[in-house]
Amino acid sequence: MFTTSVIRGSPKLTRDLYVLISRSLFQKSSSMSSQKPKVYVTRRVPQDGLEILRPHCEITQWDSEKPVPRDELIRQVAGKDALFCLLTDKIDVDVLNAAGSQLKCIGTMSVGYDHIDMAECRARNIPVGFTPDVLTNATAELTVGLLLATSRRLMEASQSVRDGGWGTWDPCWMLGHGLDGSTVGIVGLGRIGVAVARRLAPFGVSRFLYSGHSPKDEAKEVGAELVDFDTLLGSSDFVLGCCALTKENQGLFNKETFSKMKSSAIFVNTSRGGLVNQQDLYDALVSNQIAAAGVDVTSPEPLPTDSPLLTLTNCVVLPHIGSATEKARGAMSALTGKNILSFLQGDKMPCQIK
């Protein structure tokens, strides 16, 4: 500090020092005010979200098509203000502890959020954004495609061309199940479930059934009937898993469930692999308890190449490509970026998990 005697005795010195000190304080203040929040991105993602964040944030990214290793995630998340993650990243207490008190929000580029410890996030007042709606159409299209592939035995028929199994035209060969006049049971009549029903209606589906705790207004749009779960299983020609994965429905489709379905029924799952007991699904397919199955999600992912499901001709397994369109994935990335930036700038996330 400067004493009174110095100020009075050296007016020029005082003035020069004052200017220097003022400039120093201003530069320090400007530096602090212009410091960008730090965001860690756990994977190589479409640029849409990064372009939203880059002008306002300092981005650190795991630039790979493969998931970030666990130890790298824990190391890199330390001191970050926000986390841009995917459904392949387990965001638990260890990750949150590693991030520290500076972590303000999380954005996951997914609709599902069972990979995030939401209870711990809520306890720490860390909001989590997700990406509903923007992948609805893409996932609904894939669900319909998978249903058609299994019901009309497209993969099996295509393979027969390659391996020489295609002979003369045979009226009894490669017979499948049509949608015309069928009953479709949708387990999880949310955004995607309704979008699937809307796309299937023109195929001549006779009835849409859904199960749940209470009637849904969205059901009126597609004329879906609310029934109990057992009725849905026993009445449906096609059973579609379109619900979010929760602790309550983990392994919902199991030996008991499949035993209640028609022997001609086809099961399709595009929600989460944990919804299904895969050994029970295999047994049901081998024993012809059900006719066929198509799954875009498995547990674990990727599905091991020695999985017995891959030996079956009446089971189509896809590598979790439900939202894999350029439009959908770009929109998912952009919404994740918007969720993060909105909160960092003091606004409400466009799509926040409650």
- The secondary structure of the chain, three-state, reads CCCHHHHHHCHHHHHHHHHHHHHHHHHHHHHHHCCCCEEEECCCCCHHHHHHHCCCCEEEECCCCCCCCHHHHHHHCCCCCEEEECCCCCECHHHHHHHCCCCCEEEECCCCCCCECHHHHHHCCCCEECCCCCCHHHHHHHHHHHHHHHHCCHHHHHHHHHCCCCCCCCCCCCCCCCCCCCEEEEECCCHHHHHHHHHHHHHCCCEEEEECCCCCCCHHHHCEEECCHHHHHHHCCEEEECCCCCCCCCCCECHHHHHCCCCCCEEEECCCHHHECHHHHHHHHHCCCCCEEEECCCCCCCCCCCCHHHHCCCEEECCCCCCCCHHHHHHHHHHHHHHHHHHHCCCCCCCECC
The separation between CA 251 and the C-alpha centre of its own chain, rounded to angstroms, equals 18
Residue of 56, 177, 213, 320 with catalytic role: 320
Contact status, residue 96 vs residue 121, Cβ threshold 8 Å:
yes
To the nearest 10 degrees (0 to 180), the angle between helices 154-162 and 136-151 is 60
CA distance 107 to 346: 15
Active site residue 56: no
226: how many CB neighbours lie within 10 A of its CB? 16
- Kindly report the CA angle at 121 between 116 and 122, in degrees rounded to 5? 130
CA distance 269 to 291: 15
Ranges of residues in the chain whose predicted pLDDT is under 70: 1-34
- What is residue 99's predicted lDDT score, i.e. its pLDDT? 98
pTM: 0.85
Contact status, residue 247 vs residue 264, Cβ threshold 8 Å:
no
Q: Which two tokens stand for residue 108?
A: 């996951």
Exposure of 169 by Cβ count < 10 A (0-12 exposed, 13-18 middle, 19+ buried)?
exposed
- What is residue 4's predicted lDDT score, i.e. its pLDDT? 30
Instruction: Identify any residues that bridge with 292 across adjacent strands, giving them in sequence order.
Output: 266
CA distance 50 to 338: 10
Render pLDDT for 219-263 as a digit per residue (tens, 0 to 9). Answer: 999 999 999 999 999 999 999 999 989 999 999 999 999 999 999
CA distance 287 to 294: 17
- What is residue 15's predicted lDDT score, i.e. its pLDDT? 42
Render pLDDT for 130-176 as a digit per residue (tens, 0 to 9). Answer: 999 999 999 999 999 999 999 999 999 999 999 999 999 999 999 99
- What is residue 213's predicted lDDT score, i.e. its pLDDT? 85
- What is residue 53's predicted lDDT score, i.e. its pLDDT? 98
Measure Cα distances from 17 to 10, 23, 30, 295, 330 in Å: 10, 10, 20, 73, 54
Q: Of the candidates 54, 98, 93, which has an alpha carbon nearest to the alpha carbon of residue 73?
A: 98
